[in-house]
Amino acid sequence: MPLQPKTLTRKPAKAKHRKGGRAPGSRLTPAEIEEIFRRFARMSPHPKTELHYADPFTLLIAVVLSAQATDSSVNKATPDLFKTADTPEKLIALGEAALTDKIKTIGLYRGKARNLIALSHKLIQEFGGKVPDTREALVTLPGVGRKTANVVLNVAFGQPTIAIDTHIFRVSNRTGLAPGKTPLDVELTLDRVVPERYKHNCHHWLILHGRYVCKARKPECWRCLINYICLYEHKTTSIDAAISIT
């Protein structure tokens, strides 16, 4: 569900009037960052991934499939896949050709099918068929990079990792929360500045906010719950939305 406020009543804060120094690497103060996540937590206390999964292995498969694809497209393909292959052994038995056919509606499906078969073999050979719970081990698996590893560590194992996707990268730069030229820059800044008690849910809140409110082409600033903290200079209004519809 999108994160949005019930009302917006305060005037926008201006950077030059901010009280206190900025958090390291951020354009915002620690107090403003605290307020951002306090608002997110109040509106959505228990955010969750929108990918469907049953256990660490099916989560890992879903996250690998979601690379450069939408969660909704993955969720349409995985129910049938997981009925047949919900363990590394079953996925290998299914075979690359049949797996390719089951995920062909997802972008880059041929390469993903190859990676998932190879990933399953490695899980069996090196990890006893279990999904490892460290980033160092996860990124050795075919098709698994730092972002995928961070999602799995956070969602499956409850670790306070922050996975940077296109939505988080955009929101972090646009708001001034964690500016960075690369996903790793943004991740490391968020890890420094996000209060510890909010860190586990941080990437869920930012993903959902970017997906449903702080959109790439036309952010819906008029219903944004952090509108008056955000430093984005080209904020839209409800009038802009009405004009774009007409």
User: Within a 10 A sphere around the Cβ of 193, how many other Cβ atoms?
Assistant: 19
Q: Is 165 a catalytic residue?
A: yes
14, 101, 122, 147: the active-site residue: 147
Block residue for tokens 């403003």: 32
Task: State the Cα–Cα distance between residues 127 and 236, nearest whole angstrom.
Answer: 50
Looking at this protein, which amino acid is placed at residue 149?
A: A
3-class SS of residue 108: coil
Contact between residue 41 and residue 201 where contact means Cβ atoms under 8 Å apart? yes
The DSSP secondary-structure symbol of 20 reads S
Task: Give the N- to C-terminal CA distance of the chain in Å, as an integer.
Answer: 26
Annotated catalytic, 147?
Answer: yes
| Nearest 10 degrees: Cα torsion 51, 53, 58, 64 | 0
Catalytic residue chosen out of the listed positions 165, 191, 199, 218: 165
What residues are labeled active site? Answer: 147, 165
